[in-house]
């Protein structure tokens, strides 16, 4: 008789997982075998750092859950499972912690002793509420898993290892070095959240980046990625809990693994971005609304508003998620399935938890979403110019015409490179199985609700931000639907079984979960070619401008000020710097300058003493006339007023003739 529950299915799964991991990382294993001396005592130092960061992430997790528990313990919310309760409390606690740090920043209290005191108080709060943890069964039995369910752990384990390795390597991704770490580092140096109006992204909502401030104060940027990884883990856990309640245990596991192996998810896993923050809060905001629809318990609607507001506070795309959910609620009111009181309750929580960052921006600029929609908010002439530049500067997507919208499914399937990050293989079974489901598609009320939400968000995404990265908050719902449809087709035992097998296409990116390069600094492997430390060798290999920045850190005085042009990743510069990029920054009004002399005088007035140019990078859209003018002006200014450049690999360093 065939066994449904083999005695130990995890032995085979673990063995195959290890074999695949070794195959994906054969480069570094080969390096260690050929250069055994590269594995030194630094290995144990690095492992100690990894352990400390895991402890740091665990402390964040425990403290956040305690804060969320304290906030919700007086409300009688009927959670369907301990997992649902735990994730809700933890996500809410992280939001509370973010706003505590936000308030400290506004008050100029980002001092080590202040945050150390707050951390001590937080630890005492956690210890005080240890009894609340006893109510949560922590026992997790693997004995009842079938072999099919155990196999799903393979991609989940590989994705987890990939994220942990990347998170413990020095940050190298573009967005972190240009925005998500660069600005918090600046604020941490100031020890306050004061305006930086010359930085375009200084007015973006940055709730998640507030959680990076302690790590940056203590000079450990890799710990920031561990915080982001915590949000990814919570988002994955929330997907599993939701899937288990809506569909099945096996379907939830499958959807979880499918979500984790999508290229856009892999590309930001282990980085210090904000995508998983807005994704987690967007997911919980939608789920709490659905729970309210099912139970009519108004507290779920309040929670939905809170989480939607937190999504807004993490990223501007959170506005699109909140708008899509708000429209669905509005239709419920018009269809008399909800009251205006319900809608106002949700809106009030949304504004209470989502507006502080936008209010700060509005106070300083007069526009809560500056520089976007500057004409609507009666912006200055320069605001209007910047808004127009942002609109022209888009280098991703297929256009915004109605015909482009109608053909969007075909573009997503056959021209995925236009949306950056390559093909998202999840989309193939999503469209195939969705079309095959036909009329049955809308029989399930949850499916109708999810598809409406996806459709409304996609409309906003199409007209504002056509990049796969901003679609990540929808991937969990799409993964759930794909697994549900696949399961339905498989159970029919007809030709549709063949269609259900298209689910396997979604797992093709599994073999891209390789972190060979990141393992070098994580394991403390020394280079055989240079005398650089493992971290410096990794950064020099990953960021072509890092050697030049390291040179500037060691040789410039405190009186020098650097301008970056065709380079926006200034995080590793410890000297004062400004960014002269015409698309990503607001520092230089190129549109008002008519000659190189004008630009030269402007730069000297700013105190610029040297200019670092990275000709190999394209940091702005070359098709925008205003940006072409900026590049011509900078080239002419450097040719006329600067000394011959110091060539540092692919980077040029200029200094003025008359210093």
List, for residues 201-224, the tens digit of each pLDDT value: 889 999 999 999 999 999 999 999
Q: What's the mean pLDDT in 465-491?
A: 89
Query: What's the CA gap between 412 and 409, in Å, rounded?
Result: 5
What pLDDT, on a 0 to 100 scale, did the predictor assign at position 2? 47
For the stretch 281-300, pLDDT in tens is 999 999 999 999 888 888 99
Residue 508 sits in the same domain as residue 556: no
Report yes or no on 548 lying in a domain: yes
Report yes or no on 380 lying in a domain: no
- CA contacts within 13 A on the Cβ side of 106: 12
Whole domain around residue 647: which residue ranges? 539-655
- 380 φ/ψ sector (left φ>0, alpha ψ -120 to 50, else beta): beta
Residue 470 sits in the same domain as residue 548: no
Residue 74 sits in the same domain as residue 121: yes
Residue 501 sits in the same domain as residue 545: no
Is the pLDDT reported for residue 476 higher than 60? yes
Report yes or no on 193 lying in a domain: yes
Query: What's the CA gap between 589 and 591, in Å, rounded?
Result: 5
Residue 471 sits in the same domain as residue 554: no
Long-range contacts from 381-387, C-beta under 8 angstroms, 24+ separation = 382/589, 385/591, 386/200, 386/586
- Among 512, 530, 559, which residue terminates a domain? 512
Among residues of the chain, what percentage have pLDDT more than 70?
93
Residue 260 sits in the same domain as residue 168: yes
Query: What's the CA gap between 62 and 41, in Å, rounded?
Result: 32
- Assign 360 a pLDDT band (cuts: 50, 70, 90): very high
Q: What's the mean pLDDT in 393-402?
A: 76
With CA atoms as reference, report the closest residue to 425 among 608, 197, 260, 218: 260
Per the document, the length of the chain is 659
What pLDDT, on a 0 to 100 scale, did the predictor assign at position 8? 66
Residue 205 sits in the same domain as residue 321: yes
Among residues of the chain, what percentage have pLDDT more than 90?
50
Of 352 and 514, the structure prediction assigns the larger pLDDT to: 352
Report yes or no on 70 lying in a domain: yes
DSSP, collapsed to helix, strand or coil, labels residue 652 as strand
Query: What's the CA gap between 195 and 203, in Å, rounded?
Result: 8
Lowest mean pLDDT across 125-139, 147-161, 422-436: 125-139
What pLDDT, on a 0 to 100 scale, did the predictor assign at position 385? 66
Chain-centroid distance of CA 52 in Å reads: 23
Is the pLDDT reported for residue 64 higher than 90? yes
What pLDDT, on a 0 to 100 scale, did the predictor assign at position 392? 59
Q: What's the mean pLDDT in 18-35?
A: 86
Is the pLDDT reported for residue 571 higher than 90? yes
Is the pLDDT reported for residue 323 higher than 90? yes
Residue 472 sits in the same domain as residue 326: yes
- Assign 6 a pLDDT band (cuts: 50, 70, 90): very low
Report yes or no on 384 lying in a domain: no
Q: What's the mean pLDDT in 620-648?
A: 88
Can you tell me which residue has the tokens 């950056």? 420
Report yes or no on 389 lying in a domain: no
- Assign 122 a pLDDT band (cuts: 50, 70, 90): confident
- The whole-chain average pLDDT of the chain stands at 87
pTM: 0.93
Query: What's the CA gap between 507 and 371, in Å, rounded?
Result: 39
Q: What's the mean pLDDT in 60-81?
A: 89
- Assign 134 a pLDDT band (cuts: 50, 70, 90): low
Is the pLDDT reported for residue 1 higher than 50? no
Query: What's the CA gap between 40 and 526, in Å, rounded?
Result: 8
- Assign 394 a pLDDT band (cuts: 50, 70, 90): low
Collect all residues with Cβ–Cβ distance below 8 Å to 14 and sequence separation of at least 6: none
- Among 512, 530, 557, which residue terminates a domain? 512
Is the pLDDT reported for residue 523 higher than 70? yes
Of 75 and 639, the structure prediction assigns the larger pLDDT to: 639
Residue 497 sits in the same domain as residue 559: no
Residue 491 sits in the same domain as residue 640: no
Is the pLDDT reported for residue 22 higher than 90? no
Q: What's the mean pLDDT in 527-543?
A: 85
Lowest mean pLDDT across 39-43, 79-83, 386-390, 493-497: 386-390
Report yes or no on 65 lying in a domain: yes
Of 55 and 386, the structure prediction assigns the larger pLDDT to: 55
Residue 183 sits in the same domain as residue 228: yes
Residue 94 sits in the same domain as residue 167: yes
Lowest mean pLDDT across 137-141, 433-437, 489-493, 655-659: 137-141
Q: How many domains does the chain have?
A: 2
Query: What's the CA gap between 481 and 487, in Å, rounded?
Result: 10
What pLDDT, on a 0 to 100 scale, did the predictor assign at position 136? 54
């Amino acid at each position: 008789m065939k066994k449904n529950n083999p005695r130990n299915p995890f032995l085979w799964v673990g063995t195959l997982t290890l074999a695949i991991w070794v195959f994906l990382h054969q480069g570094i294993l080969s390096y260690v075998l050929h250069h055994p001396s590269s594995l030194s005592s630094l290995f144990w130092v690095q492992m100690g750092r990894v352990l400390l960061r895991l402890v740091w992430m665990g402390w964040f997790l425990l403290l956040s859950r305690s804060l969320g528990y304290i906030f919700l313990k007086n409300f009688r919310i009927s959670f369907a499972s301990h997992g649902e309760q735990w994730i809700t409390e933890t996500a809410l606690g992280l939001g509370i912690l973010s706003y505590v740090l936000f308030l400290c920043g506004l008050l100029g209290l980002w001092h080590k002793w202040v945050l150390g005191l707050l951390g001590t108080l937080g630890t005492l709060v956690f210890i005080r509420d240890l009894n609340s943890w006893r109510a949560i069964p922590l026992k997790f039995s693997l004995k009842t898993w079938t072999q099919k369910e155990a196999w799903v752990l393979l991609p989940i384990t590989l994705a987890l290892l990939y994220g942990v390795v990347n998170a413990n390597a020095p940050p190298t991704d573009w967005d972190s070095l240009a925005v998500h770490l660069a600005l918090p580092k600046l604020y941490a140096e100031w020890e306050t959240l004061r305006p930086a109006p010359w930085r375009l992204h200084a007015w973006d909502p940055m709730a998640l980046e507030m959680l990076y401030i302690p790590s940056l104060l203590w000079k450990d940027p890799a710990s920031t990625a561990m915080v982001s990884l915590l949000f990814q883990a919570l988002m994955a856990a929330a997907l599993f809990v939701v899937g288990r309640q809506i569909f099945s245990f096996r379907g939830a596991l499958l959807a979880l693994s499918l979500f984790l192996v999508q290229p856009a998810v892999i590309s930001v896993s282990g980085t210090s971005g904000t995508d998983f923050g807005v994704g987690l809060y967007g997911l919980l905001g939608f789920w709490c609304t659905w729970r309210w629809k099912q139970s009519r318990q108004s507290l779920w609607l309040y929670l939905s508003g809170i989480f939607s507001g937190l999504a807004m506070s993490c990223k501007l795309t959170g506005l699109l998620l909140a708008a899509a959910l708000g429209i669905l609620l509005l239709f419920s009111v018009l269809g008399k399935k909800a009251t205006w009181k319900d809608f106002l309750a949700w809106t009030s929580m949304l504004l209470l938890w989502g507006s502080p960052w936008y209010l700060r921006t509005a106070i300083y600029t007069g526009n809560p979403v500056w520089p976007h929609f500057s004409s609507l908010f009666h912006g200055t002439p320069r605001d209007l110019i910047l808004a127009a530049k942002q609109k022209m500067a888009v280098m991703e997507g297929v256009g915004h015409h109605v015909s482009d919208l109608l053909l969007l499914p075909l573009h997503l399937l056959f021209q995925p490179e236009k949306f950056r990050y390559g093909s998202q293989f999840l989309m193939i079974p999503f469209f195939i199985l969705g079309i095959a489901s036909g009329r049955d598609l809308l029989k399930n009320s949850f499916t109708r609700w999810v598809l409406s939400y996806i459709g409304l968000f996609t409309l906003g995404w199409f007209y504002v931000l056509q990049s796969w990265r901003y679609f990540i908050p929808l991937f969990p719902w799409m993964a759930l639907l794909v697994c549900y449809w696949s399961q339905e087709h498989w159970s029919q035992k007809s030709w549709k079984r063949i269609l259900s097998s298209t689910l396997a296409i979604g797992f093709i990116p599994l073999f891209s979960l390789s972190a060979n390069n990141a393992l070098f600094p994580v394991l403390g492997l020394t280079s055989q070619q240079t005398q650089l430390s493992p971290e410096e060798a990794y950064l020099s290999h990953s960021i072509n401008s890092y050697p030049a920045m390291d040179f500037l850190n060691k040789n410039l005085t405190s009186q020098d000020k650097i301008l970056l042009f065709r380079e926006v990743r200034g995080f590793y510069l410890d000297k004062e710097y400004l960014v002269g990029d015409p698309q990503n920054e607001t520092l230089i009004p190129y549109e008002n300058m008519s000659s190189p002399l004008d630009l030269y005088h402007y730069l000297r007035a700013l105190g610029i003493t040297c200019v670092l140019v990275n000709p190999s990078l394209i940091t702005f859209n070359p098709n925008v006339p205003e940006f072409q003018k900026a590049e011509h002006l900078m080239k002419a200014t450097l040719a006329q007023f600067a000394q011959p450049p110091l060539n540092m690999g692919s980077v040029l360093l200029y200094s003025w003739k008359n210093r």
